[in-house]
Amino acid sequence: MTLPEPIHHRQRSFRLEAVVLRHNDWGEADRLIGLYTLEMGKLRALAKGVRKLRSRKAGHLEPFTRVNLLLARGRDLPLITQADTLEAYLPLREDLAGATYASYVVELLDRFTYEEGENRALFRLLVDTLARLCQDQDRDLVVRYYEIRLLDLVGFRPQLFQCVSCGAEIRPEDQYFSASLGGALCPRCGSHTEGAQPISLNALKHLRHFQRSNFQEATRARLNPALNRELENVVQHYMTYLLERGLNTPAFLRRLRKENPAS
């Protein structure tokens, strides 16, 4: 049942395009929906009555669905009054592997962002990545590329061209990577830096390639299982370090950007 709304209510409603990141039950019948929106970045909104049978909104508000939303300003959180699916990414829901990749993609974005306003490049990366996972692409390559671009867009671009300790140019030989220093170390510095882990020349080359390339160019890379595993290990070690240290906080990000205006 939809009641005609008084005009001032209508003016207080707004439309957003969003990807659903997650949902949590809220009260008896409602859900708190975590969204990444095109227009406002990360946002939480309340979907009322969505857990009741026959709710028309429910199917549109599942994780990794791209939706068009009509929202009304609520007392604390915006209320979702209408939800329409733009893209359900069905191929990702048909097999467990697809759903696992997609869940990883949205979870990573969720953990590295906070409610700080729009970041259209990040929204674009998210929807492009979900689309690529549906296509005939190497899903590991899609996700490894996504990780590097995401780190870039949230302010944690790893330094891969100069040693993060002595500043020397990184030469074509096996190197080290330091999560706490945020990048590659030359063999001289890496061998006596606590927590630095070895990284092969080949893995480093691929990280650099992803950092500098658009997706089309990145797909020229061929990841064999061993290389994929090494890239995954290095990047996840770095991301785990960032997240566990609580470095994804607004204050830290602002400081980081001020110290490294170029990055």
The residue ranges that bind Zn ion (CB under 5 A) are 163, 165-166, 168, 186, 189
d(CA 257, CA 263): 7
Looking at the Cβ atoms of 65 and 165, the one nearer to Zn ion is 165
Please, what is the minimum distance in Å from the beta carbon of residue 197 to Zn ion?
15
Looking at the Cβ atoms of 151 and 181, the one nearer to Zn ion is 181
Please, what is the minimum distance in Å from the beta carbon of residue 195 to Zn ion?
15
Helix (H) or strand (E) holding 53: none
Residue 143, token pair as written in the block = 């996700």
Looking at the Cβ atoms of 91 and 187, the one nearer to Zn ion is 187
Residue 90, token pair as written in the block = 């069905």
Looking at the Cβ atoms of 109 and 163, the one nearer to Zn ion is 163
Please, what is the minimum distance in Å from the beta carbon of residue 171 to Zn ion?
10
Beta strand 175-178 with 66-72: parallel, antiparallel or unpaired? unpaired
Is 136 buried (19+), middle (13-18) or exposed (0-12) by CB count in 10 A?
A: exposed
Residue 151, token pair as written in the block = 């780190």
Contact 241, 179 (CB under 8 A): yes
Please, what is the minimum distance in Å from the beta carbon of residue 158 to Zn ion?
15
